Each structure stands twice: as C-alpha cells, then as structure tokens.
C-alpha cells in the first residue's frame, strides 16, 4: 500500500507544531503516526513501561510516593477548535458532564468545578462503597495548549462495616490532561498518579478509572 505524500506532510507539520511539548522527542514522537491513525498509547508504573521522561513530568503533579502512575497518549482530530475548547470549559465548570464516562455510579455537583463521585467496587470482603470528591481546573497557555487538572479535594474514602475510612489523602490523587494543538488536531498527553493511604491493592482500580475517563473525554471531543 502506498501512503499518500499528504500524510507524510501532515505528520511533518504536526511534528513542527509540537516543539517544546512531550511529543517532541523519543517514543512519543515516534508514535505520532500511530496516534493520528486512531491508536492510543499507554504506559504504567505497574507494568514497568513508563520511561524517565514520564516520571520527570509526573513530578509537577506533587505526588511524591506513587503507588500507581500512568501515561496515555491520544490524538483528537480538529472539528471546530473553539467549540472543542468550549466543551472542555463546560466540563471543567460542571463536572456532572462527565457522567456518561461511566466511572461513577452517581456523580453530583458540589459547586463550580467541584463534584462527588460515588461507586461500589469489589473489596476484600465483598462490595465496598467508595466516595471520591473531585475539583477541576482548566487553563490555556499562550501557545494555545489547554490543560485540564483534576484532584481529590478531600480524602477518597471507603465504607467499612461501621464507618468511612480514608483510601487516598487530600490532593494525593491527580490527573492532568494536556491538549497540544497542531494543524490537524490535538495531541493529548495524560498523566494519572496516586498515593494510597490504605489498601494499596486498590491503586490500579482508581488509576484505571481515571484512564477510562480520559478515553471517554477524547472520544467525546472528537465528535464535538
């Protein structure tokens, strides 16, 4: 099969636009073509695939002792960029808009950019209720990049036999979704990191939930 010259030109133009971003060098730059063809690239601490650059970029999220960390790369084609940004702004203000992602059994607003996600998950002695309070912040840089950050504004808690107990301390779960513009769309670099206060075996469940949210968000923007 012959790849059209226009495909190579588009990839070259995108690579030029991505200077100074996580996609400029190394394995991320090598994945640009795959991403533009619809692939998603994931690397996690639990399977040992995260590289030194991933870990260095994770430091800015402020979680020092990660029990689970993950990176996901996507490409979201441009539809109407202003409309896609407006969609992100709407979700950051009213996070109940994330409900279709299916991460929470129930997602309720606690004010502008704040919400409470409640779910029932498998625990060591059966089903366990978990509540995860989330705060979001959206910023846009002068280069046009858009940054969405989510944190737990209070402890993530699980319901024991008699009371709620902390799983993750305040601000020890963070997810950052960075959207870098290019001539053909947005290259997305997502980081998820968390430090457990208890039940370290649940770290993968929590990080997988945020990766699921990230995947839904990118798919949603592609159709906005």
HEC-encoded secondary structure of the chain? CCCCHHHHHHHHHHHHHCCCCCCCCHHHHHCHHHHHCCCCEEEECCCCCCCHHHHHHHHHHCCCCCCEEEEEEEEEECCCHHHHHHHHHHHHHCHHHHHHHCCCCEEEECCCCEEEEEEEEEECCEEEEEEEEEEEEEEECCCCCEEEEEECCCCEEEECCCCEEEEECCCCEEEEEEEEEECCEEEEEEEEEECCCCCHHHHHHHHHHHHHHHHHHHHHHHCC
What pLDDT shows up at residue 13? 63
What pLDDT shows up at residue 16? 75
Cα distance between residue 48 and residue 28, in whole Å: 17
Structural domains of the chain in order of their starting residue, each with its CATH number: 5-222 (3.30.530)
What pLDDT shows up at residue 5? 44
What pLDDT shows up at residue 92? 97
Residues in the chain predicted with pLDDT less than 70, given as ranges, are: 1-13, 15, 122-126
This prediction's pTM: 0.91
């Amino acid at each position: 099969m012959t790849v059209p010259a226009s495909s190579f030109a588009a990839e070259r133009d995108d690579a030029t636009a991505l200077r100074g971003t996580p996609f400029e060098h190394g394995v991320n730059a090598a994945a640009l073509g795959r991403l533009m063809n619809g692939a998603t690239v994931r690397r996690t601490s639990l399977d040992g695939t995260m590289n030194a650059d991933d870990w260095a970029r994770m430091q800015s999220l402020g979680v020092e002792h990660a029990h689970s960390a993950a990176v996901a790369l996507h490409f979201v084609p441009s539809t109407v960029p202003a409309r896609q940004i407006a969609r992100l702004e709407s979700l950051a203000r009213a996070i109940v808009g994330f409900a279709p992602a299916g991460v929470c059994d129930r997602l309720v607003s606690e004010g502008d950019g704040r919400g409470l996600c409640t779910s029932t998950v498998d625990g060591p002695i059966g089903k366990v209720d978990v509540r995860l309070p989330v705060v979001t912040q959206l910023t846009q840089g002068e280069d046009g990049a858009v940054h969405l950050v989510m944190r737990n504004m209070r402890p993530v808690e699980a319901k024991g036999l008699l009371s709620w107990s902390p799983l993750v301390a305040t601000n020890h779960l963070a997810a950052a979704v960075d959207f870098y513009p290019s001539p053909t769309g947005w290259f997305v670099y997502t980081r998820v990191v968390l430090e457990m206060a208890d039940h370290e075996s649940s770290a993968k469940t929590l990080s997988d939930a945020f990766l699921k949210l990230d995947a839904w968000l990118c798919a949603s923007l592609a159709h906005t």
